């Protein structure tokens, strides 16, 4: 029987740098897990490519995906839908490959309920003021939007409890190393590997 891949979920407050950490992880040639491209109703930003950064959808298309049960999870975030197409995740895990999701916290909560055996990693900011700083210096958002995001971030920080690991994003390279080390460790977890040794002993 094909051993299933690991479902890795990286989440955390908005502005904490999830996207940056994810991009850094996938720019490294030794990264052995597959990125699950999300669907969204938000408009593409400059340079974003459909099918690579996101599957860009209209609200109608997205709502159809919800109705047809095509999403593993979805959430409405700052006025737009974001969701994870379930088919790709299922097929990739069944093929024995690890799948990596980078999603906001409401969606991560839904995945936790459906896939309790997943690996849930919370990306944490070094401090709240640092978080505010990062959101403001991003410079692309209005004052109201920034306030909204900060309020959400405070609430989201309290959701750390639902995760298996916490990685501080003090430096992107360090955060990436920690995430990858956690994945390696998870593959060595006794519950995951013990059956192989049991099988070996049965052969004798």
In the complex, what is the shortest distance from the CB of residue 93 to ligand 5GP, in angstroms, rounded to a whole number?
Answer: 16
120 close to 163: Cβ distance less than 8 angstroms: yes
Tell me which residue has its CB nearest to ligand 5GP.
107
In the complex, what is the shortest distance from the CB of residue 119 to ligand 5GP, in angstroms, rounded to a whole number?
Answer: 16
Of 31 and 106, nearer to ligand 5GP (C-beta) is 106
Q: What pairing do the DSSP bridges indicate for beta strands 80-85 and 71-77?
A: antiparallel
Half-sphere exposure for 2 (CA within 13 Å, toward CB): 11
Cβ neighbours of residue 161 under 8 Å, at least 6 residues apart? none
Q: Report residue 98 as tokens.
A: 């690890």
Q: Report residue 169 as tokens.
A: 């994003």
d(CA 6, CA 34): 10
Of 3 and 76, nearer to ligand 5GP (C-beta) is 76
Indicate which single residue of 5, 14, 125, 150 sits in contact with ligand 5GP (rule: CB under 6 A). 14
Q: Report residue 189 as tokens.
A: 């977890």
Of 70 and 187, nearer to ligand 5GP (C-beta) is 70
d(CA 110, CA 133): 29
38 binds ligand 5GP (CB under 6 A): yes
d(CA 159, CA 146): 20
Of 18 and 178, nearer to ligand 5GP (C-beta) is 18
Q: Per CB under 6 A, which of residues 51..110 are in contact with ligand 5GP?
A: 73, 75, 77, 82-84, 102-104, 106-107
Of 65 and 103, nearer to ligand 5GP (C-beta) is 103
In the complex, what is the shortest distance from the CB of residue 172 to ligand 5GP, in angstroms, rounded to a whole number?
Answer: 15
Binding site for ligand 5GP (CB under 6 A): 14, 18, 38, 42, 73, 75, 77, 82-84, 102-104, 106-107
């Amino acid at each position: 029987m094909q051993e299933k891949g690991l479902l890795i979920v990286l989440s955390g407050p908005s502005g904490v740098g999830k996207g940056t950490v994810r991009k850094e992880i996938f720019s490294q040639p030794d990264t052995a897990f597959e990125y699950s491209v999300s669907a969204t109703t938000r408009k593409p930003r400059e340079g974003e490519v459909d099918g690579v950064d996101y599957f860009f959808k209209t609200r109608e298309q997205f709502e159809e995906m919800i109705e047809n049960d095509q999403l593993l999870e979805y959430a409405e975030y700052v006025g737009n839908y974001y969701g994870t197409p379930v088919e790709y995740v299922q097929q990739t895990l069944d093929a024995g490959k690890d799948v990596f999701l980078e999603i906001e916290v409401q969606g991560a909560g839904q995945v936790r309920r459906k896939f309790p055996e997943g690996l849930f990693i919370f990306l944490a900011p070094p401090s709240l003021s640092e978080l505010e700083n990062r959101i403001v210096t991003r410079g692309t958002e209005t004052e109201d939007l920034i306030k909204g995001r900060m309020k959400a971030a405070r609430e989201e920080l309290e959701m750390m409890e639902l995760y298996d690991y916490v990685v501080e994003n003090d430096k992107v390279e360090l955060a990436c190393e920690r995430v990858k080390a956690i994945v390696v460790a998870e593959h060595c977890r006794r519950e995951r590997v013990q059956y192989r040794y049991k099988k070996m002993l049965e052969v004798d």
